[in-house]
Structure 1
Amino acid sequence: MVDEESLVSFVAGGGRLSAPDNVTPRYRGELMRLMAIFVDSEMAGASGFADCINLAPGLKERITATRMVVDKFTHARRVLELMEQFGANTGQYVGAHPWSSRLDRSMNLGTRRTEGDMRLNVFHYPINGWVDAVVMNFLMGQATVVQLDELTRGSYQPLADLLSEIVPVERRHAELGEQGLRVALDKGHDKTDAQASVNYWYPRVTDTFGRSTSDHFDQHRKYGLRQKSREELLSSWQSLVHPVLDELGLSAPEGGLDPASRQKALA
């Protein structure tokens, strides 16, 4: 069995691991955590978005939304199959948590973890109407692309290869969110309402990039699972979404905070 020092030295030199037998218990723990966050987020995201299908304004949009839900469940299944190789009980996984459950919309967890599944906190919040759904899908979709793209260069080859196949699909989901928002605004949807959705979702998506100081990130870098800092990833996301918001006559909330949170911070 490989020892910790040898593994760290191997991945530091650009080496990639190919099977569960190649990893140490600590590496396994961090890798499984990353995969669980992805699977739980896809499960929760798909379950929540499924409730929005009938909010779509037309049949074409409803078909598109349905396909996106299927894609996300499929992505969850494929990564769950990797987890199964490490001994995860996948047979009971789907029924283990209420994936469609949501908190009150007024809540803001920030980066605090909650009990239960390991979904990103953004998937704990409810969607309020179709335009709110496409705003969330655009903002979070681009964040997903940035975060997963970083993991495609990770040291566990099977996961990196699988995510390389998933990223283009998630990128298309983000593009469809942007397209849905454009169509809604072109058809006269109240821009003030759309801006309110941006104000709500922007800081909550920002929180998915985590804290600037994180023990888990230090471990991920040590094990070659990812390299870029939270600030680098966040900047990449902002470079994708800010030009689109500007073009649509919308804007990111000042300081990345929604008005209520900004007022609380200044109090």
Structure 2
Amino acid sequence: MAEDMSLSSYLAQGGKLTNPSNVPPRYRAELLKLIATFVDSELAGAAGFADIINEGPGIKARIAAAKIVLEKSDNADKVLRIMGEFGADTEAYADHHPWTARLTRDADIGQSRSKHDMRLAVFNYPLEGWLDAVVMNLLMGRAVTVQLGELSQVSYQPLAEAFRSIAPIEQRHAELAEEGLTQLVENGETAQAQEAVDYWWPRVAASFGSQTSEKFDGLRAMGLRHGTNAELHDRWAADAGAILGKLGLTSGN
């Protein structure tokens, strides 16, 4: 960093930070919030999907589901290790929250967070069977793919590198969900799949946050955001909508 350039100017011009000792307080707070949201969402998502493994249609489907649970847990661990560099107790972290806790199916909390942790709101809703889980994982998997494209550009370099290594793993999870949904539709479960899409679409859409975030400009200046919530949402809606269209399903657009 040039000696005559302030840290805020350095970040605003695309600069990168690489060590916790270089991180100012406000940046640290926003960075840790971003990390906690990802870690908690991965752990809550893995915990919810774990309960569905044995409902998979056949051993291969169950193996694939178990692998997804394993890999989501591992993805959380990769990012949690970075939180540990900021002083978090990573050994005890996973035991602090009830990751399997869910609201009722008809709850409507919008973008509200859990009272227990920082998971995205969508991970507060329960899964109801294999088809429902496949649809949720397809829609949320495509959302995570878009969100990781954004997160892979954050200005804290170790975190950006971790997200870049995670991105292809999460993309494969979404592809597996698409393959699973294709099979279900081919087996005549189109009506049930559409019902699940209608349920999950608005809840996944809410994970992109407010379309008019007041914090965006500040986060962009710190290099922690690039695309707006609306831009990321629209990218996901086009992507997920196209996949559903190929299967004869309609999106929530």
Q: Place the TM-score, normalised by the shorter chain, in its bin.
A: over 0.9
Task: Tell me the distance in 2 between the aligned counterparts of 1:43 and 1:36.
Answer: 10
Within-5 A mapping of 1:1-267:
6-189=6-189, 191-253=190-252, 256=253
Give the paired residue count: 249
User: What is the Cα deviation at residue 213 of structure 1?
Assistant: 2.6
Q: Distance between the aligned counterparts of 1:48 and 1:231, measured in 2? A: 28
Q: CA deviation at 1:214?
A: 2.5
Letter in 1 for 2:197: V
Query: How much does 1:229 deviate?
Result: 0.6
Moved over 6 A (4+): none
| Distance in 2 of aligned mates of 1:149 and 1:35 | 15
Report the Cα offset of residue 89 of structure 1: 1.5
Deviations 1:220-240 (A, max 9, x none): 212111111111101110121
**Cα distance in 2 between the residues matched to 1:214 and 1:76:** 26
Q: Deviations over 1:159-215 (max 9, x none)?
A: 0011000000000000111110001111222x1111110000000000000002324
Contact 1:68 1:173 in 2 (8 A): yes
Where structure 2 has 5 or more consecutive residues not aligned to the other structure, the ranges are none
| Inter-partner Cα distance in structure 2 for 1:215 and 1:70 | 36
SS at match of 1:146: helix
Instruction: Give the Å deviation of 1:67.
Output: 0.4
Alpha-carbon separation, structure 2, partners of 1:50 and 1:225: 31
Deviates more, 1:213-222 or 1:180-189: 213-222
SS class of match (1:160): helix
CA distance in 2, matches of 1:153, 1:185: 36
Q: CA RMSD in A?
A: 1.1
Percentage identity across paired residues of the two chains: 50
